[in-house]
A and B are shown apart, each in its own frame.
Chain A
Amino acid sequence: MKEELNFQSPYKVFFEENVYTFETKNNHKYRVSFNLSNDYFEYTSTFKELKKVYTLNVEKISSHKEPLDVKVQKTIDQILQFFFEDPENSIIYLCDFQDNRELKRRNHFNKWFENSSFKNQVIKIDDIIETEDLNYYTSIIYTKHNPLRKYLETAYIEMLYFLKNKN
């Protein structure tokens, strides 16, 4: 069932089959999803305490280009603002490295975050896993009032430690 959400966003946001959708003035459709991703922390000591660790996906459905539309970012900001109203929600992020553009993605992601409306409500931890041939840029974002914060931080630190020091 398609539900219209009462957001203060430039574009109307709908929720349908676990996906947020909106359409721009140029008729470009965007779909935004949050996918439960606790399982990436399966080997950490606090895994069982983790509840709401998500990955965020934002996808423009049409492939043709459109001029920069600041209302798109503002609308996505509103969706994230809503997402962080549940203080247990958190997001993990890893820059895609398969086309060697991971550093550009990290910079773009940081710029987006700096301009976000929810920046002051959340904590963002960044890290880099360095290997001989690749750098893996990763981040975790959670609210300052997340009651599971210590479990989340422990899981994130342990996972990175495991990846950096295995063997």
Chain B
Amino acid sequence: METKTLNNSISKKESIKNLALKFIEDQKMIQKYLKNEITLEKLNERGIKFSKPI
């Protein structure tokens, strides 16, 4: 029972961290693009979309 709870706790932490890390990594890739350090194709490969918001 304690092992299961511990595993669930680890799993929860991992899922939060994975989504948060993806978010942060995406932002860092966008920053690199804005600084002309990587190409738009690199962003597109990662599924990051640029668009005219209005």
Q: List chain A positions with a Cβ less than 8 A from chain B.
A: 15, 17-19, 31, 33-37, 39-40, 52, 54-55, 57, 59, 61, 82-83, 85-86, 89, 94, 96-98, 129, 131-134, 136, 163, 165-167
- Across the interface, do A96 and B31 meet the contact criterion of CB distance under 8 Å? no
Residue B42 at the A interface, CB < 8 A? Answer: no
- Where chain A touches its partner, the secondary structure class is mixed
Contacts of A37 in B (CB 8 A): 26
Chain B 1-54 interface residues, beta-carbon cutoff 8 Å to A: 8-9, 11-13, 15-17, 19-20, 23-24, 26-27, 30-31, 34-36, 40, 47-54
Contacts A34-B53, A54-B53, A165-B12 known; list 9 others, CB within 8 Å. A18-B50, A35-B51, A36-B51, A57-B27, A94-B20, A97-B20, A134-B17, A136-B20, A166-B16
- Across the interface, do A167 and B20 meet the contact criterion of CB distance under 8 Å? no
Q: Which residue of A lies closest to B21 (CB)?
A: A98
- A49–B15 CA distance with the chains assembled, in angstroms: 24
Q: Which residue of B lies closest to A18 (CB)?
A: B50
With A34-B51, A34-B53 already in contact, the answer to whether A167 and B11 are too (CB < 8 A) is yes
- Where chain B touches its partner, the secondary structure class is helix
- Across the interface, do B53 and A132 meet the contact criterion of CB distance under 8 Å? no
- Across the interface, do B51 and A167 meet the contact criterion of CB distance under 8 Å? no
Contact for B15 among A31, A36, A98, A163, CB less than 8 A: A163
Contacts of A33 in B (CB 8 A): 30, 34, 50
- A85–B23 CA distance with the chains assembled, in angstroms: 26
Q: Which 5 A-B pairs have the closest CB atoms?
A: A167-B8, A59-B34, A18-B50, A31-B34, A34-B53
Contacts of A129 in B (CB 8 A): 16, 20
